[in-house]
Amino acid sequence: MNTYTKVTPEIVSELSTIVGNNNLISDFDRMENYGHDETSKEEYGHMPEVVVMPQSCEQVAQVMRLATRYHIPVTPRGAGSGLSGGAIPLFGGIVLSVEKMNKVLEIDEKNLTVTAEAGIITNELNNQVIEHKLFFAGYPMSLETCFLGGNIAENAGGGRAVKYGVTGRYVLGLEIVTPDGRIVNLGGKVTKDVSGYDLKQLYIGSEGTLGIITKATIKLLGLPTAKADLLVPFKTAEEAIAVVSVIMTKGIVPTSIEFMDRTSLQMSCNYLNETLPLEKVGAMLLIELDGSEEKQVEADMISVGDLCEANGAMEVYIAEDKNTQERIWSVRRNIAEALKVYSPVQSLEDIVVPIGSIPLVLPKLTMLSEKYGVTIPCYGHAGDGNLHATIVKNPESTMEHWHEIEPMILRELYAFIVTELGGKISGEHGIGIKRREFLREVISDTEYDLFCALKKAFDPQMIMNPGKIIRIQ
């Protein structure tokens, strides 16, 4: 077991010299927000010893050099909207928040790129590039709060990945600070590159365990000029989910196919004070299509609508105006939050399976729900095979019972997803602390050994966000 140096007042003072007094927090109360993310604070939270908010890459590098010198763990933090504990300072030490590095540095219309600092809010970036009729295809559900750097560190997926792929596809260049405080620029503005190992891709999704992302150059696309959203209710969740693979193998590539079961819909509507026609509805699909040609989008919309109707849809609602589209998407985006308000004791899952196996997931969830006496509302990016099954504690059972059954349910679910269906335990939320022990159980010894070798090669002192993805030995 690694033992780290405690952050003394002298070290705090050194840090303050680097980042400035206004960009450092060391009193307990004000640090509280930096001790958890969107996972359960009680279960995963841990307080930092000090929080720094550098204003430049050079300051980040100086902090890392200090941390290396003293052997202090450093946890990089974006908006804290993560769902696997990636930003939690498991061993105390320094939380390095990029919140003050939040500028768009360049929008390059000649190369269709935007370069921005890691701390910019995703939607802020979107708003700035949309003015140039350009568009960043990443679309995490937390886009109103999450930071670009966090999206990249987690390789966020989201609502448009069916057509556009996940965040990583759009990252052309990264500025990284290594654990020992060196600054390295990877990639650039080129769209193809095989000039050596693809380190850029390695940092994407590495959850801040190999270095800190301080800046990124993102590939933009021309803003689609036509868009349509279909909201399609089905009597049962099974019917709704079965349509997903039908659509996905028909040659049309929707922008999104989101699945929401009855409980998820109801909770989100309650939370938002929104009304949707839910009578007799077991689940809904939210299907988005976009493109540069209105006629094409319309034709695709009709084809998809017909497919749904031929496969049990009760109705096909079309949302063509922006306002209605935003209302529906808001229902979708707020499900996680709504379910949390409904029952804070829960486990928000992120399983992903091959699209052909999606229909096999729901019966398993029903079985687990009955076997363990819990509710498991389910929603998510069905077009990617990525479902956010959320295991919710029965309000009538004790916390002790919950702590006993939660890992049992997860083990049974993960074994099924991985061994039976060839799926993975996380499609977009990451491993962090929350899934670390479970990951170890479902991957091979060789893969795990390679993970450890990689971590050791890039962070030999084990000070860079330690305890995430893998245990530190």
Ranges within 72-111 binding its own copies (CB under 8 A) = 108-111
Q: Are 148 and 123 in contact (CB under 8 A)?
A: no
Per-residue mark of binding to its own copies, 360-399 (x: CB under 8 A) = ---------------------x--xxx-------------
Cα–Cα distance measured from residue 143 to residue 158, given in angstroms and rounded to the nearest whole number:
9
Q: How far is CA 109 from CA 114, 116, 134, 175, 205, in A?
A: 8, 14, 9, 21, 27
Of 152, 435, 464, 467, the one binding its own copies (CB under 8 A) is 435
* Distance in Å, CB of 351 to its own copies, minimum: 10
DSSP state of 385: T
* Distance in Å, CB of 153 to its own copies, minimum: 10
Q: Is 106 or 404 the residue whose CB approaches its own copies more closely?
A: 106
Please spell the DSSP secondary structure of 268-291, one letter per residue. HHHHHT-----TT--EEEEEEEEE
* Distance in Å, CB of 226 to its own copies, minimum: 12
Q: Are 349 and 390 in contact (CB under 8 A)?
A: yes
Site membership for its own copies, residue 61 (CB under 8 A): no
Neighbours of 444 (CB within 10 A): 8
Q: Is 23 or 155 the residue whose CB approaches its own copies more closely?
A: 155
Per-residue mark of binding to its own copies, 153-192 (x: CB under 8 A) = -xx-x---x---xx--x--------x---xxxxx-xxxxx
Q: Are 159 and 329 in contact (CB under 8 A)?
A: yes
Q: Is 48 or 157 the residue whose CB approaches its own copies more closely?
A: 157
Site membership for its own copies, residue 67 (CB under 8 A): no
Of 25, 243, 248, 361, the one binding its own copies (CB under 8 A) is 248
Of 48, 254, 427, 467, the one binding its own copies (CB under 8 A) is 427
Q: Is 74 or 161 the residue whose CB approaches its own copies more closely?
A: 161
Site membership for its own copies, residue 112 (CB under 8 A): yes
Per-residue tokens: 62? 């100086």
Of 59, 214, 426, 465, the one binding its own copies (CB under 8 A) is 426
Of 204, 218, 237, 240, the one binding its own copies (CB under 8 A) is 204
Contacts of 348 (CB under 8 A, 6+ apart): 39, 83, 336, 339, 340, 388, 390, 429
Kindly determine how many residues on this chain lie close enough to bind its own copies according to the rule CB under 8 A. 84
End-to-end CA distance of the chain: 5
Q: Are 72 and 93 in contact (CB under 8 A)?
A: yes
Site membership for its own copies, residue 311 (CB under 8 A): no
Cα–Cα distance measured from residue 33 to residue 36, given in angstroms and rounded to the nearest whole number:
6
Of 292, 330, 398, 419, the one binding its own copies (CB under 8 A) is 292
* Distance in Å, CB of 447 to its own copies, minimum: 5
Q: Are 242 and 311 in contact (CB under 8 A)?
A: yes
* Distance in Å, CB of 294 to its own copies, minimum: 12
* Distance in Å, CB of 417 to its own copies, minimum: 10
Q: Is 92 or 138 the residue whose CB approaches its own copies more closely?
A: 138
User: What sign does the CA torsion over 404, 406, 409, 414 have?
Assistant: negative
Q: Is 56 or 292 the residue whose CB approaches its own copies more closely?
A: 292
Site membership for its own copies, residue 245 (CB under 8 A): yes
What b-and-e string marks burial along 165-198, b requiring 16 or more CB atoms within 10 Å of the CB?
Answer: ebbbebbbbbbbbbbbbebeebbeeeeeeeeeee
Near its own copies by CB under 8 A, which window of 19-27, 274-282, 331-339, 454-462? 454-462
Q: Is 98 or 204 the residue whose CB approaches its own copies more closely?
A: 204
Q: Is 402 or 438 the residue whose CB approaches its own copies more closely?
A: 438
Of 13, 249, 330, 419, the one binding its own copies (CB under 8 A) is 249
Farthest-apart Cα atoms in the chain, separation: 70
Please choose, from the candidates 392, 364, 389, the residue with its C-alpha nearest in 3D space to the C-alpha of residue 379.
Answer: 389
Cα–Cα distance measured from residue 296 to residue 176, given in angstroms and rounded to the nearest whole number:
41
* Distance in Å, CB of 44 to its own copies, minimum: 18
Torsion, Cα 53 54 60 65, to 10 degrees, reads -80
Site membership for its own copies, residue 352 (CB under 8 A): yes
Site membership for its own copies, residue 454 (CB under 8 A): yes
Site membership for its own copies, residue 437 (CB under 8 A): no
**Letter for the amino acid at 7?**
V
Near its own copies by CB under 8 A, which window of 45-53, 92-100, 115-123, 421-429? 421-429
Please choose, from the candidates 212, 200, 224, the residue with its C-alpha nearest in 3D space to the C-alpha of residue 290.
Answer: 224
